[in-house]
Amino acid sequence: MNKKMLLTMLVLTLLLLLAACGGGGGDAAESGGDNAVGDAANGEKLYNQVTIGSASAPGCVTCHSMEPDVVLVGPSHAGLGNRAGSYKEGMSAEEYLRESIVDPDAHLVEGFTPGVMYQNYATELKASEVNDLIAFMTTVK
């Protein structure tokens, strides 16, 4: 990759980051920031959609079962709200779930292959949608 192309990519990345930060002084819950509390009912609706996000990516339900020990493509989400906080030391359930959605290969459940989970939810879901999914998934006991 030449220097000009690398510089262009860096500038575009910085511009996207600045646009994502937005400014404004609103409440985090209103803006859908990373620490905002989501709406579990809306998260459940999103979770159960066959496609999700701006690019009609596969929805959670297409790859994850809510039945114990039933594997579709990814691990079962039965009891996820009880387990999510125990996968990575020092990470809360909410932090783990956020990382799993926006950076799916950061931590893999044993027996699952990197790169299988759709990789672009971070850019295709609104922050409020990620917060809603997290709010729902923490209720799955």
Q: Is residue 32 part of a domain?
A: no
Give me the number of domains the chain comprises.
Answer: 1
| pTM recorded for the entire structure | 0.75
Mean pLDDT of 113-141: 97
The enclosing domain of 83 has a CATH number of 1.10.760.10
The answer as to whether 92 is a domain residue is: yes
Residue 113: inside a domain, yes or no? yes
Q: Assess if residue 45 is contained within a domain.
A: yes
Q: How confident is the model at residue 40 (pLDDT cuts 50, 70, 90)?
A: very high
List the domain range (segments joined by +) for residue 60: 38-137
Both tokens of residue 72?
């579709």
Q: What's the pLDDT tens digit per position in 61-76?
A: 999 999 999 999 999 9
Say yes or no to pLDDT of 29 above 60. no
Q: In 3D, which of 44, 28, 56, 19 has the Cα closest to residue 128?
A: 28
CB 79 within 8 A of CB 141: yes
CA distance 66 to 82: 13
